[in-house]
Amino acid sequence: MDIGNRLKILRVELLSNKKLTRKQFGEQIGVSEDVIKNIEYNRAPIKEHMVKLICQTFNVNEDWLRNGNEPIFNGEEENLIKSLKNKYQLDEVSTSLLTTFVNLDEFSKKNIIDFLLKSIEDYYTNNPDKLKELNLKINTFEEMCITKDEDIKNIQLYEIPASAGTGMLITDDIPYEIKQIDLTIAPQARKADFALYVRGDSMEPVYYDGDIVFIKEQPSLDNGQIGIFIYDDEAYIKKYSIQEDGTYLVSLNKKYPPIKIEENICFKICGLVL
């Protein structure tokens, strides 16, 4: 993954609570929407001063933005330690030990973990009544934390988004990335054939700018279903509405008027939004 992809992940996923479009993201660091787009698509290199400005503005770890080395945000380790201290009511000695541990190199961490596991094993060997309880806790923890292979799906996520605004031109050469989807978090992706980014606000409050939607390819839709459409060489995510006077593509945001499908203009249903 290169710096352009990490920039997009930062803007679309990690800062999704702010719903930042490329324009909004660019405005916060003093560049245009096109500059952000070109960097994300690797059409232009990111300038040195922009790296510094992005890290300062969004509290991003510069090593992650440049090289992909976590943590992503500055201060994440400190916040995590504070959270653990409060949750488990750790005293100052325990907190200090935890802080020291997370800042060790991997070799030192492994040696300490091996020592602790051996100590725990010795304890439970000498206290057999406690061993069954420990094994139950370990098995429960593994079931909660380990994602099984069958719960992961690779899906094509297209860079050119479906528009939830005024439409976006579709080209023959559409870039995409292969994205791993955790089906325990997004079960609707199990039946999807591909995924798209949403752009614009016309499908709010259900779909926001930067959201990822999962699409099942099919040539027709039932009345009222939400789908992906090509109309007059532009792509839309809209609600499919069959009315007495014709067929419409309807926005969920009431400030956008319905788009009536004219018979003499090319129209195609690409799939159902899951």
Phi, psi (deg, nearest 5) at residue 273: -80, 120
Closest CA to 155 of 180, 130, 131, 138: 180
Within 13 Å, how many C-alpha atoms sit on residue 7's CB side? Answer: 26
Name which residue leads in pLDDT, 120 or 271.
271
Query: What residue numbers bound the domain in which 125 lies?
Result: 104-146
107-124 pLDDT per residue, tens:
777 888 888 777 777 776
H or E, element range at 49: helix 48-58
Asked whether residue 32 is assigned to any structural domain, the reply reads yes
Asked whether residue 176 is assigned to any structural domain, the reply reads yes
Asked whether residue 206 is assigned to any structural domain, the reply reads yes
Report pTM: 0.45
Provide the number of structural domains found in the chain: 3
My answer on whether 141 and 189 are in the same domain is no
Which of residues 95, 119, 146 is at a domain's end?
146
How many Å apart are CA 232 and CA 267, to the nearest integer?
7
Domain with residue 19: its CATH number is 1.10.260.40
My answer on whether 189 and 257 are in the same domain is yes
Q: How does residue 242 score in pLDDT terms, banded at 50, 70 and 90?
A: very high
Asked whether residue 94 is assigned to any structural domain, the reply reads no
My answer on whether 121 and 12 are in the same domain is no
My answer on whether 168 and 269 are in the same domain is yes
Q: What is the pLDDT of residue 130?
A: 67
My answer on whether 108 and 132 are in the same domain is yes
126-153 pLDDT per residue, tens:
776 666 666 666 665 555 544 455 678 8
59-100 pLDDT per residue, tens:
888 888 988 887 787 765 666 677 677 767 778 888 788 778
My answer on whether 195 and 242 are in the same domain is yes
Asked whether residue 163 is assigned to any structural domain, the reply reads yes
